[in-house]
Amino acid sequence: MQLPIHRVNAREAAASGRRVLRAGWILLLAGGLACIPARAAGPKGSAAADTAKPAAASDYVGADVCATCHEAEAKNFAGNPHRKMVLMQGANGVTCENCHGPGRAHVEGGGDVTRIFNPGKGAPKQVDQTCLGCHAGAHPDFERSPHARAGVGCANCHSIHHSEETAELLKAAQPTLCFQCHTDVRASFNMPFHHKVPEGLVKCSDCHDVHGTFEKSNLRSRNDSNQICTKCHTEMRGPFVYEHTPIKGEGCMGCHTPHGSQNARLLNMPSVNMLCNQCHSPVAAATVHGMGAGSSELTPCTDCHTYIHGSNLNVAFLR
Ligand code: HEC
Ligand code: HEC
Ligand code: HEC
Ligand code: HEC
Ligand code: HEC
Ligand code: HEC
Ligand code: HEC
Ligand code: HEC
Ligand code: HEC
Ligand code: HEC
C-alpha cells in the first residue's frame, strides 16, 4: 500500500526542487518514494491503521493547518533540515504529513490522537520504515546492521523535534549518545591512553558508520581496511619499498587496539618486545643481535627498528 501523494509530487519535486536538493535525493524522489510504507501497519488505534484504503491527496491538509494547533512544533521546525521538504510539494508545504501521514481525519476530529501517526509511539521497525522511505538511498544497509537486528532504530539516536545536535538531529552529541548503551566502550576510552573521543577531537563516526556497512563492527567501508586509520595517519599509508608484512596482512589492528590501551602507542600488548616476539622468535632475535638471553626484553626493538611501519631505505626498518 502506498501514499499516492508522494507519487503525484515526485515529478513535480524533481522539477522544482533540483536547484536545492542533492542529486541523489532527487533520484530517490523520482524513483524511490513510492515505497514509503503507508501507516496501514500502524500502532494500535492509529487512524491510518483503521483504513485499509490508500490515502488520497484530499486527506492531506498541509503544514499551515497543523501549525494552527501545534505552534511549538511548527515554530521549531524552521531550522530543521526537513524544512526542505516544502519543495517536494511545490508551495503546498505538506512537510508534517510526510512523516505523520495524512492529517485531515485528525484535524476534523479536533485533534483526535487515534487518527494520526506519532513516530514517538510507533514500533521501531515501523518508524525505521517511515524514515527509510526517504533515506534508504544514503543508508541502504541499515536493516541488516547490528543496530537494526538488535531492535535499535532511528528514533533511538535521532529526534526530529527535540534534538540536541540540529545538524544531524541527534538526541545527544557523540560520544554521550553512544555511551548511553556502550558502557564497556566507555571504559576503554577511560584508559590512560586513548583516541581523544571523550575530548571531542575524534568521533566514533570517524571509524564507524552506525547505519550499517559490509565490514565487521560497523567499520566504515574503505577499499583497504587500513584506510580507516591512514585517512588521519597519512605517514603510515605507504606504499614503501620495504613493507613490514603484517601491515598489509593483519592490518593496523594486528598490533594496535583502536579505542584505548595501557600502552602509550595503543599497542595491543603491554610492551613493544612482547608484541614483536609473538611473531619473531625471541631466541632468534637474541642470536641474530648477539644480545644474549634476556637482553632483548630490556631494549625495545623499536629503538633500532624505528620505521616499523615500512621503510624506503632499509630492509630491517632501521631507517
Ligand atoms: C484542531 C487542532 C489540531 C490540528 C489542526 C492538528 N492537531 Fe495534532 N493534535 C491536536 C491535539 C488537541 C492533540 C492531542 C494533544 C497533544 O498531544 O498535544 C494532537 C496531537 C498530535 C500528535 C500526537 C499524537 C499522539 O499519539 O500523541 C501528532 C503527531 C499530531 N497531533 C500531528 C499533527 C499534524 C501532523 C497536523 C497537521 C496535519 C495536526 N496534528 C493538526 C490538535 C490538532
Ligand atoms: C521527518 C519526519 C517528521 C516531520 C517532517 C515532522 N515530524 Fe512530528 N514527529 C516526528 C517524530 C519522529 C516524532 C516523535 C518525537 C521526536 O522524535 O521528536 C514526532 C512527534 C510529533 C508530535 C508529538 C509531540 C512531540 O513533540 O513529541 C507532534 C505534535 C508533531 N510531531 C507535529 C509535527 C508538525 C506540526 C510537523 C510539521 C511542522 C511535524 N511534526 C513534522 C517526525 C516528524
Ligand atoms: C518524506 C521524506 C523524508 C522522510 C519520511 C524523512 N526524512 Fe529525513 N530528510 C529528508 C530531507 C529532504 C532532508 C534534507 C536533506 C538535505 O539536507 O539535503 C532530510 C534530512 C535528515 C537528516 C539530516 C541530514 C543532514 O545532512 O543534516 C536526518 C538526521 C534525518 N533526515 C533523519 C530522518 C529520520 C530519523 C526520519 C524518520 C523519523 C526521517 N529523516 C524521515 C527527507 C525525509
Ligand atoms: C546508533 C545510533 C543511530 C541510529 C540507530 C541511526 N542513526 Fe542516523 N546518525 C547517527 C549519527 C551518530 C550520525 C552522524 C554521523 C554519521 O553521519 O554517521 C547520523 C547521521 C544521519 C544522517 C545524516 C548524515 C548522513 O549520513 O546522511 C541521516 C540522514 C540519518 N542519520 C538517518 C538515519 C535513519 C533514517 C536511521 C534509521 C533507519 C538512522 N539514522 C539510525 C546515529 C544513528
Ligand atoms: C539505544 C542503545 C544504543 C545506542 C544509543 C548506540 N548503540 Fe551501538 N549497539 C547497540 C546494540 C544493542 C548493538 C548490538 C549488540 C552489540 O553488538 O552490542 C550495538 C552495536 C554496535 C556496534 C557493532 C558491534 C559489533 O560487535 O559488531 C557498533 C560499532 C556500535 N554499536 C557503535 C555505536 C556508536 C558509534 C553509537 C553512537 C553514535 C552507538 N553505537 C549508539 C546499542 C546502541
Ligand atoms: C580510531 C577509530 C575508532 C574510533 C574513534 C572508535 N572505534 Fe569502535 N572500533 C574500531 C575498530 C577498528 C574496531 C574493531 C576492533 C577489532 O576488530 O579488534 C572497533 C570496535 C567497536 C565495537 C565492537 C567491539 C568492542 O570493542 O566492543 C564497538 C561496540 C565500538 N567499536 C563502539 C565504538 C564507540 C561507541 C565509539 C565512540 C565512543 C568508537 N567505537 C570509536 C575503531 C574505532
Ligand atoms: C579522525 C582521525 C583519526 C583516525 C581515523 C585515527 N586516528 Fe589515531 N590518532 C588521531 C589523533 C588526532 C591522535 C593523537 C591524539 C593525541 O594527541 O593524543 C591519534 C593517536 C594515535 C596513536 C598514538 C600515537 C601517539 O601519539 O603515540 C595510535 C597508535 C593511533 N592513533 C592509531 C590509530 C589506528 C590504529 C587507527 C585506525 C583504527 C587510527 N589511529 C585512526 C587521529 C585519528
Ligand atoms: C607490526 C606491528 C604494527 C602494525 C601492523 C602497525 N603498527 Fe603502528 N606502531 C607499532 C609499534 C611497535 C609502534 C610504537 C613505535 C615506538 O615505540 O615508537 C607503533 C606506533 C604507531 C603510531 C604512533 C606514532 C609513531 O610513529 O610512533 C601510530 C599513529 C601508528 N602506529 C599507526 C599505525 C597504523 C595507522 C597502522 C596501520 C596502517 C599501524 N600503526 C600498524 C606497530 C605496528
Ligand atoms: C603479526 C606478526 C608480526 C609482528 C607482531 C611483527 N612482525 Fe616483523 N615481520 C613479520 C613478518 C611475517 C615479516 C616478514 C618475514 C620474512 O619475510 O621473512 C616481518 C619482517 C620483519 C623485519 C624484516 C626482516 C627482513 O629481513 O626482511 C623486521 C626487522 C621485523 N619484522 C621487525 C619487527 C619488530 C621490531 C616488531 C615489533 C615492533 C615486529 N616485527 C612485529 C611479522 C610480524
Ligand atoms: C640494538 C639495536 C637492535 C635492537 C634492540 C633490535 N634489533 Fe633487530 N636488528 C638490528 C640490526 C642492526 C639488524 C640487522 C639488519 C641487517 O641485517 O641489515 C637486525 C635484524 C633484525 C631482523 C631481521 C634479521 C632476521 O632475524 O631475519 C629481525 C626480524 C629483527 N631484527 C627483529 C628484532 C626484534 C623482534 C627485536 C626486539 C626483540 C629487535 N630486532 C631488537 C638491530 C636491533
Q: pLDDT by residue (tens digit) across 175-222?
A: 999 999 999 999 999 999 999 999 999 999 999 999 999 899 999 988
Average per-residue pLDDT for the chain: 81
Q: How remote is the CA of residue 241 from the centroid of ligand 10, in Å?
A: 18
Asked if 209 and 247 sit in the same domain, the reply is no
**50 membership: H or E segment, kind and range:** helix 47-50
Predicted confidence band of residue 282 (pLDDT cuts 50, 70, 90): confident
Between CA 285 and CA 204 the distance in angstroms is 39
Asked if 9 and 97 sit in the same domain, the reply is yes
Please say if the pLDDT value at position 27 is more than 50.
no
67 in helix, strand or coil?
helix
Number of domains in the chain: 3
66 in helix, strand or coil?
helix
Question: Domain range holding 170?
Answer: 141-218
Asked if 95 and 176 sit in the same domain, the reply is no
Domain-terminating residue out of 218, 237, 259: 218
Bridge partners for 311 per DSSP = 242
Does 160 sit in the ligand 2 pocket, CB within 6 Å?
yes
Cβ neighbours of 42 (radius 10 Å): 23
Asked if 54 and 148 sit in the same domain, the reply is no
Asked if 206 and 243 sit in the same domain, the reply is no
Judge whether 123 lies within some domain.
no
Give the residue-averaged pLDDT of 135-150. 94
Asked if 53 and 105 sit in the same domain, the reply is yes
Judge whether 120 lies within some domain.
no
Query: Locate cell 585517512: which residue?
Result: 231
311 in helix, strand or coil?
strand
pLDDT at 297: 56
Domain-terminating residue out of 154, 184, 218: 218
Query: Locate cell 631507517: which residue?
Result: 319
Nearest CA to ligand 5 atom 38: 178
Please say if the pLDDT value at position 150 is more than 70.
yes
Residue 170 CA: which ligand 5 atom is closest?
Answer: 38
Which segments within 136-277 are labelled E, that is strand?
193-194, 260-261
Does 99 sit in the ligand 2 pocket, CB within 6 Å?
yes
75 in helix, strand or coil?
helix
Judge whether 289 lies within some domain.
yes
Asked if 204 and 233 sit in the same domain, the reply is no
Q: How remote is the CA of residue 219 from the centroid of ligand 5, in Å?
A: 12
Asked if 183 and 103 sit in the same domain, the reply is no
Is the Cα torsion angle 293, 297, 300, 302 positive or negative in sign? positive
Judge whether 51 lies within some domain.
yes
Judge whether 130 lies within some domain.
no
pLDDT > 70 fraction of the chain, expressed in percent and rounded: 77
First to last CA, the chain: 67
Number of H helices, E strands in the chain: 17, 2
Residue of 5, 60, 82, 163 to mutate, ligand 3, most atoms within 8 A of C-beta: 82
Residues enclosing ligand 8, CB less than 6 A?
226, 229-230, 233, 236, 244, 246-247, 250, 252, 254-256, 265, 267, 272, 275, 302, 308-309
**Cβ distance 228 to 234 under 8 Å?**
no
Between CA 279 and CA 275 the distance in angstroms is 8
Task: Report the predicted TM-score, pTM, of the whole model to 2 decimal places.
Answer: 0.91
Ligand nearest to the CA of 251: 8
Nearest CA to ligand 7 atom 40: 229
Ligand nearest to the CA of 281: 10
Q: How remote is the CA of residue 259 from the centroid of ligand 7, in Å?
A: 9
Judge whether 200 lies within some domain.
yes
Nearest CA to ligand 9 atom 18: 245
Residue 229 CA: which ligand 8 atom is closest?
Answer: 35
Does 210 sit in the ligand 4 pocket, CB within 6 Å?
yes
Asked if 173 and 151 sit in the same domain, the reply is yes
According to DSSP, residue 201 is labeled S
Please say if the pLDDT value at position 240 is more than 90.
yes
Please say if the pLDDT value at position 80 is more than 60.
yes
Q: How remote is the CA of residue 301 from the centroid of ligand 10, in Å?
A: 7
Q: How remote is the CA of residue 271 from the centroid of ligand 10, in Å?
A: 17
Asked if 53 and 23 sit in the same domain, the reply is yes
Predicted confidence band of residue 7 (pLDDT cuts 50, 70, 90): very low
